[in-house]
Amino acid sequence: MERELWMALYQFVSDSQVRGKGWLYTTGTFVMVYFWAVVHDRPMYWAVDKRNWPEDLCPGLLPSQLQLSRRLRGPDVAEMMTEIEHQFSAMIGAEQHLIRIIDGKPLEVSKDADAGYGRSAGGKHKGYKLHVVHAGGPTPLAWALAPMNVSEKVMAAELIPTLPGEGYLLGDTEFDSNRLHDLAHEAGHQLVTPKRGKNQGLGHRRHSPYRLRSIELLKAPFGKALFRYRRQIEREFGTLVSFGGGLVCLPAWARGFHRVRNWVHAKILVNAARWFRTNNYHLTELLAVA
């Protein structure tokens, strides 16, 4: 399956408008060599060794590990992967989905100077957290990576203004704040979260009218039925980690913020390629239409 996933990603890289700098290797070469490592859950030095490639897929020239490492820090690689991500999302019109879910997934590490300590399943751990807004489909509508000690509210305040379209944004009690409700409204969304302090009143201070609307919504049958859809985020995270080549954990060679972010970004794209394959979409036909 690794070969099929890589080939699906290769189609997008080949069609990309991002070329970057360099007289010997294109940006696409670096991205495809990196994808070869990611889909096999191997470090970069493994992917730059011709012995680990089938003859019909191996590029004519492979960069060195040092060259690959340097170029992965550059903006052109991130730009190309972001372009591919947006293409995946646009192919099924994910931006038109009216129900969106915001949540975070902890990614634990043991030693990493850029990581932080924060809450995760089973207690407090060191690592990063993947913050996403998902609307169904192959990729998140928006996502960001941060050390685990960065508040989910802080990251939500960065993600919400970037959301395309409009709709309902579902979150747990961690996102129940007046500021986030206001930000969601400004971005064309109604944030729906259970009230913090379930058995407490609202006090005498001002509350966002959109927070008050969320509270009222969850008392009504429509709001209760709507909020049950929030469980879908657990399935989305489960899909991301439940296959060979998925984001099961951060490997020993993914340390430091920029390396972890590249690894997570690539895993999101690998999962998207698998999503299309699992749902019987033919990427070649979709690319032709796009």
pLDDT at 289: 44
Distance, in Å, from the CA atom of 18 to the CA atom of 7, rounded to the nearest integer, reads 19
Which of 201, 216, 236 corresponds to the end of one domain?
Answer: 236
Give the span between the Cα atoms of 6 and 42, in whole angstroms: 14
Last residue in a domain, options 216, 236, 256: 236
Q: Where are the alpha helices (DSSP H) in 139-230?
A: 152-159, 178-186, 209-217, 221-227
Cα–Cα distances in Å, from 113 out to 109, 142, 246? 10, 26, 24
Q: Decide which of 214, 236, 258 is a domain's last residue.
A: 236
Classify residue 200 by its DSSP letter. Answer: S
Residues 7 and 87 in one domain: yes
Residues 155 and 270 in one domain: no
Give burial (CB, 10 Å; 0-12/13-18/19+) of 284. exposed
Are β-strands 116-120 and 142-147 bridged in parallel, bridged antiparallel, or unpaired?
unpaired
Statement to judge: residues 111 and 62 lie in one domain: no
- Assess whether 32 and 102 both reside in one domain: no
Residue 104's CB is within 10 A of a number of other CB atoms, namely: 27
**In a shared domain, residues 130 and 100:** yes
Q: What is the pLDDT of residue 87?
A: 87
Same domain as 254, residue 193: no
Claim to verify: residue 69 and residue 102 sit in the same structural domain: no
- Give yes or no: residues 87 and 101 share one domain: no
**Same-domain status, 152 and 25:** no
Residue whose token pair is 């979709």: 286
pLDDT tens across the length of the chain (290 residues): 789 899 989 888 887 766 655 557 889 999 999 999 999 999 999 999 999 999 999 988 899 999 999 999 999 999 999 999 988 888 878 778 899 999 999 999 988 999 999 887 777 889 999 999 999 888 999 999 999 999 999 999 999 999 999 999 999 999 999 999 999 999 999 999 999 877 666 766 788 999 999 999 999 999 999 999 999 999 999 989 888 888 988 999 999 999 999 999 999 999 999 988 887 665 555 444 44
Same domain, 207 and 117: yes
Q: By residue range, what is the domain housing residue 211?
A: 96-236
The set of residues, in sequence order, having a beta carbon less than 8 Å from that of 1 and lying 6+ positions away, is: 243, 244, 245, 274
| 198/113 same-domain check | yes
Task: Please report the pLDDT score of residue 290 as a whole number.
Answer: 47
Name the β-bridge partners of 62. none
- Phi, psi (deg, nearest 5) at residue 36: -60, -40
CA–CA distances in Å: residue 64 to residues 48, 133, 192, 204, 267: 6, 36, 49, 64, 22
Q: Which residues contact 264 (CB under 8 A, 6 or more apart)?
A: 107, 130, 145, 247
Q: In terms of pTM, does the model score above 0.95?
A: no
Task: Scan for tokens 């690539």, then name that residue.
Answer: 266
- Same domain, yes or no, for 155 and 73? no
The domain tally of the chain equals 2
